[in-house]
Amino acid sequence: RAFWREANRSPFSFLNSIQHVYGAQHPPFDPLLHGTLLKATPKVPTTPVKARRTSTFQEFESNTSDAWDASEDDDELLAMAAESLNTEVVMETANRVLRNHSQRQERRRPPEPPAVPSGDLRLVKSVSESHTSCPAEELRKLSWSGIPKSVRPITWKLLSGYLPANVERRPATLQRKQKEYFAFIEHYYDSRHDDAHQDTYRQVGACPSLHIFERILFIWAIRHPASGYVQGINDLVTPFFVVFMCEHIAWQAARGHPSGALCDRAATLDWCFPPDNYTFAQPGIQMKVKMLEELVSRIDEQVHRHLEQHEVRYLQFAFRWMNNLLMREVPLHCTIRLWDTYQSEPEGFSHFHLYVCAAFLGRWRKEILEERDFQELLLFLQNLPTAHWGDEDISLLLAEAYRLKFAFADAPNHYKK
């Protein structure tokens, strides 16, 4: 179905990869009526069985490194985020791009906006009108199938609890939370050079990022000592940065660089950062991987046995899926679409993500069963061909995950051995 899109796209070139929204139906369509939800993919070339001797995990481990660090910089935005940019550079670049974009728009006729489905119209209306307070349950239902780009920033704030549903309470709530964030900076971040915090600061600083990322990650790690800073957690700031910077650019275009707007986005990033909804300590991640293994063993025993037969352990590929919420497995615009649904789930990110990972593994069932070499099988699982995925692929993935959740979430003994 056609979905609402903005007539004029964002001028920031590094955001061009974010596609227009196509959402899964809510609830997804019945698989009994529509057949297999996950569409087949072209066959990935496999390693002929007779071409070489089958390798083992021990041999592979001694000859190559894990694919954890592979393709970390393949996303244009992440490459940009690795640079140390200050506020003046960001604003100067934004102003120049906005001017160039405006000049191009004046020389060409703007396209007609596409038709908007009624559900998206209700969502746009409910979050755009200042006098409207959309009930939380209704907002989640409307957002599950994807959020229009123009209202995504405010919708994410509402779904994450950063903004109250009551419109009249929002100004006071925003002011209070921004004050609390700046108090965190003074209390936590200004102590980053203290001996007690040196290890944490070195860990955060070891990952190239914008200063705003470093500050948010350090404050979060100090405030959550049980989890602390875990490698890969920095990835999870990026979707929020992209979404809320789009809002910041819109403000800038409409109001001519409002004072303190960039600082307000920093406070928003800190409050909406997802780890409060998800456990990042490694024992928690390992538990999630174990739950995925048990679930797959019940829903597709053939794939599970195939992985066991070739000595592929779930931790070798699914640890990253859990730790990074599939951010390193799919393009950034797909991650943002995925998070529309994650934030619409009543249980938050963690619960539904288990079923998304199970559906994601099932998406490659054919290729997995055709591969009979340990090394090739593991490398395939660590470098899945999703570079050209779009919102339709995410919609199908979410529909299958919803089906699995419906079948197993209320009956966990179905997938426990």
pTM over cut 0.85 = no
pLDDT in tens, 119-150: 566 676 666 554 556 678 889 999 999 999 98
Q: Over the stretch 347-405, which tens digit does the pLDDT of each residue have?
A: 878 889 999 999 999 999 999 999 999 999 999 999 999 999 999 999 999 999 999 99
Q: How confident is the model at residue 236 (pLDDT cuts 50, 70, 90)?
A: confident
CA distance 388 to 185: 40
Q: Which of 139, 48, 221, 289 is nearest to 147 (CA)?
A: 139
**Mean pLDDT value across residues 9-28:** 43
How far is residue 379's CA from residue 374's CA, in Å, rounded to a whole number?
A: 9
Contact present, 163 and 198 (Cβ < 8 Å): no
